[in-house]
Every structure is written in structure tokens, then in C-alpha cells.
Amino acid sequence: MKIGEAPSYGKPVVIYDPSSTGALNYMDLGREFLTRNGIEIKIENEITNIDKDNDNNVKENIEEENQDINLNSSNNSVNG
């Protein structure tokens, strides 16, 4: 039930578990839609690149949140 689990982790199923049946079906649907509408697609390393970008974004967000927490802690101790 990967499709149901993915939102709990804040990820689309094609990122959460790209080899699951649901993810593969979504990708097939997307390819069929694009092909029927005359749009050329390139699939090579598509999921790997998306996953790497997503991991980098998550790391950046965590670092920013940690900096905000540190700043708030410093301000509270100065003002407190």
C-alpha cells in the first residue's frame, strides 16, 4: 500500500517508492498522456534526479530550521 503511505512521509509515491506498482502505473499514465498529446519525453534517470533534488531540499530546510531555532534561543536568552 505504498500509495497510501507516501503522503504520510510528505512525498509523492513516485519518489517514496519508485518501483512500487502504484508508482509505475502513475508513470505509465503520465507517459501515455504526454505521448497522446504529441509531447516528446525523456525518461533517462528522471526519478533518480528528482529524488536527489528532493533530498537536498529537505537537508536545506532542516539546516534553515536549525538556524532559526538557534537564533530564537539566543534572542530569548538575551531578552529573558
pLDDT digits (tens, 9 = 90+) for 35-80: 999 988 776 655 555 555 555 655 566 666 667 666 666 555 555 5
What residue spans define the domains of the chain?
1-43, 44-80
Q: pTM here? A: 0.49
At residue 29 the predicted structure's pLDDT band, cuts being 50, 70 and 90, is very high
CA quadruple 60, 66, 71, 77: dihedral, nearest 10: 180
